[in-house]
Amino acid sequence: LIGAVTRLCLEAYGVFEDVLMMTLAPLYRRRGWFPLHAFAALAPNGRAALITGNMGSGKTTTGLALLSAGWKLLSNDSPLLRLANDQVEVLAYPGQLSAFDDSLARFDALKRFIPTDPVPETLDLLAPSGRQKRVFRAEEAFAEPWASTGPAGGVFFPQVVPGLEQSELVPVPSTKAALELVPQAIEGWDKATVPQSLHLVRTLVEQAPCYVLRLSPHVEQLAGVISQGLTE
């Protein structure tokens, strides 16, 4: 197959990164590095929290809350997992941060990324339409934001709960957590690496506690709540 990278591919957040990941993921897996669709952040205790879920689940808002509380970024969307001495390790994967305006508005330090002037209308048929995420580098928002690696300390499945006043953790059995992680971690077409991927997922949920993270609107609670769920 022969393709071309268009201007829209480069300008639309995530498209070029997704193309790169789809291209490189089979090579990563054959080196023992397994991508996971998750936000990954390193806690002050040196353990990595993996926050995974579909769009709209609160994954990005939760990740921004952790960075705002001083945690370090491992990946906005695609950390690499590997087994090192039978311990699941989370490796950083580069990329920009992005969030919708309603998420940015929850953090005083991030409101400056919300444009104050309306975007002029355009006749460019290739321009993205509808609600767009704001894209920025982590270094533009946080001081020394990156970490390179850390042992997996917990897996969190965020869930927005209207009317909830205090965010809370609900433990998830390891077998159920593994089933939830499979579509975020495994590409069925890469059949040669499926057994290794499944082994890593099973090892992850056996080593790291897994929770549904029930989200209240109060983002300042999240770092403390997630810290309570991490392994020491």
pLDDT digits (tens, 9 = 90+) for 147-196: 999 999 999 999 999 999 999 999 999 999 999 999 999 887 888 989 99
Question: Using CA atoms, how far apart are residues 83 and 232, in angstroms rounded to an integer?
Answer: 19
How many helices (H) and strands (E) would you count in the chain? 8, 11
Pairing of strands 48-51, 39-42: antiparallel
Q: What's the CA angle centered on 39, arms 132 and 91, to 5 degrees? A: 130
**What is the number of domains present in the chain?**
1
pLDDT at 69: 97
In a domain, 168, yes or no: yes
CB 59 within 8 A of CB 70: no
In a domain, 77, yes or no: yes
- Tell me which H or E stretch contains 153: strand 149-160
pLDDT at 187: 83
More confident residue, 116 or 1: 116
Question: Using CA atoms, how far apart are residues 2 and 192, in angstroms rounded to an integer?
Answer: 24
In a domain, 120, yes or no: no
In a domain, 88, yes or no: yes
**pLDDT reading at 67 higher than 80:** yes
**pLDDT reading at 142 higher than 80:** yes
Task: State the average pLDDT for the chain.
Answer: 88
Range of the domain at 32: 7-112+131-229
pLDDT over 90, % of the chain:
69
pLDDT at 82: 97
SS3 of residue 118 by DSSP: coil
In a domain, 126, yes or no: no
Q: What CATH number did the domain enclosing 224 receive?
A: 3.40.50
**pLDDT reading at 37 higher than 60:** yes
21: left (phi over 0), alpha (psi -120 to 50) or beta: alpha
In a domain, 43, yes or no: yes
More confident residue, 1 or 50: 50
pLDDT at 15: 60
In a domain, 2, yes or no: no
